[in-house]
Amino acid sequence: MKNLVLPLGVLLALSFAAYHSDPVSSQRATAKATPTPTSDAIDRNTSTPYDGDLSIFENAQRDKDLQIDRVMDILKISGDKTVADIGAGSGWFTVRAAKRTTGKVFAVEINQEYIDHIKKRAAREKLANITTVLGKFDDPTLQKESVDAVLILKTYHEIEKPITFMKNLRGSLKKGALVGIIDKNGDGDDHVLDRDKVVAELTRAGFALKEEYDFVKDGMDYFLVFVAEGRTK
């Protein structure tokens, strides 16, 4: 009997070891340990948000170089339209939009110092229709269906979670709202980002490219105009 018990013990120990070194079960364990990327993940670098001197956005030539009046015509900023300036910086575009419309202009920023700067600027320039909004990295935190036109000027490449951000922005758009993006072709991590990547990401976020222009900075920057899929007039 003793002779029979020993081999049985060895057999049990061997099968225990075999179970735990089974390649399929260890693969399962590995798969569980690796977090699955969310559907909003991107496989490119983003630029570190600018936090320097705001005077760089106030170049006297900028209106002319960007043809900002033409940009606002295309985005139909007039009358009582509600506008959002995403990544407002010094408020350079915010104040121009606020002089064009009697509606509200939301200056969305993640930088509290810039928000304070824009508040003071709006008071100084007596533009009561400007409202500052301290947004989040992945959400402009604008009210649902509240905005007619958006400009994301030299900022999209800095948005850390662009797909989630644009999905959240989408919810704040009124029917037929226009979303403009001005940026420059490049890699993403040096304050530039390829136009094709922007189009692909906005498509994932539920937008459709409506128009495209090359007059900004004589074609050095691209100007893309999007509408939210299924939210056109």
Ligand X SMILES: C[S@@+](CC[C@H](N)C(=O)[O-])C[C@H]1O[C@@H](n2cnc3c(N)ncnc32)[C@H](O)[C@@H]1O
Q: Which has the closest alpha carbon to 210: 167, 150, 124, 123?
A: 150
State the minimum distance, in angstroms, from the CB of residue 129 to ligand X.
Answer: 18
Q: Each residue of 173-194: b (16+ CB within 10 Å) or e?
A: bbeebbbbbbbbeeebeebebb
The answer to the question of residue 202 lying near ligand X (CB under 6 A) is no
SS3 108: strand
Residue length of the chain: 233
**Which residues on adjacent β-strands are paired with residue 149?**
83, 178
Distance from first CA to last CA of the chain, Å, rounded? 87
The answer to the question of residue 114 lying near ligand X (CB under 6 A) is yes
* Contact with ligand X (CB under 6 A) among 83, 95, 97, 110: 110
Q: Which is nearer to ligand X, 92 or 226 (CB)?
A: 92
The answer to the question of residue 121 lying near ligand X (CB under 6 A) is no
Q: Which is nearer to ligand X, 151 or 177 (CB)?
A: 151
Beta strands 147-153 and 222-228 are: unpaired
Tokens of 209: 């490219």
The answer to the question of residue 81 lying near ligand X (CB under 6 A) is no
State the minimum distance, in angstroms, from the CB of residue 57 to ligand X.
Answer: 4
* Contact with ligand X (CB under 6 A) among 101, 131, 155, 172: 155
Type of residue at 122: A
- Total residues in contact with ligand X, by rule CB under 6 A: 22
Tokens of 226: 């999007």
CA distance 221 to 191: 12
* Contact with ligand X (CB under 6 A) among 153, 166, 173, 216: 153
* Residues 226 and 179: beta-carbon distance below 8 Å: yes
The answer to the question of residue 49 lying near ligand X (CB under 6 A) is yes
| Type and span of the H or E element at 212 | strand 207-213
Q: Which is nearer to ligand X, 108 or 149 (CB)?
A: 108
The answer to the question of residue 106 lying near ligand X (CB under 6 A) is no
The answer to the question of residue 111 lying near ligand X (CB under 6 A) is yes
The answer to the question of residue 57 lying near ligand X (CB under 6 A) is yes
CA distance 216 to 222: 7
Q: Which is nearer to ligand X, 89 or 103 (CB)?
A: 89
The answer to the question of residue 105 lying near ligand X (CB under 6 A) is no
* Contact with ligand X (CB under 6 A) among 72, 77, 87, 177: 87
Segment lying near ligand X (by CB under 6 A), choices 23-31, 85-93, 168-176, 202-210: 85-93
Q: Which has the closest alpha carbon to 109: 92, 87, 81?
A: 87
Residues that bind ligand X (CB under 6 A): 49-50, 57, 86-90, 92, 108-111, 114, 135, 137, 153-155, 158-159, 165
